[in-house]
Structure 1
Amino acid sequence: MSRSSKVVLGLSVLLTAATVTGVHLKQQWDQQRLRDGVIRDIERQNRKKENIRLLREQIILTEQLEAERQKILLEQGSKDT
Structure 2
Amino acid sequence: MSTASRVVLGVSVGLTIATVVGVHVKQNWDRARLREGVVRDLERMQKKQENLRLLKQQISLTKELEAERERRAAESQGP
**TM-score (structure 1 length as normaliser):** 0.96
Alignment of 1:56-67 (within 5 A): 56-67=56-67
RMSD, aligned α-carbons? 0.7
Matching residue of 1:14: 14
Q: For 1:74 and 1:54, how far apart are their aligned partners in 2?
A: 30
For structure 2, which runs of at least 5 residues remain unmatched after alignment? none
Q: Deviations over 1:20-56 (max 9, x none)?
A: 0000000000000000000000000000000000000
Matching residue of 1:71: 71
- Deviating beyond 6 angstroms after TM superposition, the runs of 4 or more aligned structure 1 residues are none
Matching residue of 2:4: 4
Corresponding position: 1:45 with 2:70:
no
Q: Deviations over 1:5-30 (max 9, x none)?
A: 00000000000000000000000000
Q: For 2:64 and 2:35, how far apart are their aligned partners in 1?
A: 44
Q: For 1:38 and 1:49, how far apart are their aligned partners in 2?
A: 17
* Identical columns (%): 58
**TM-score (structure 2 length as normaliser):** 0.98
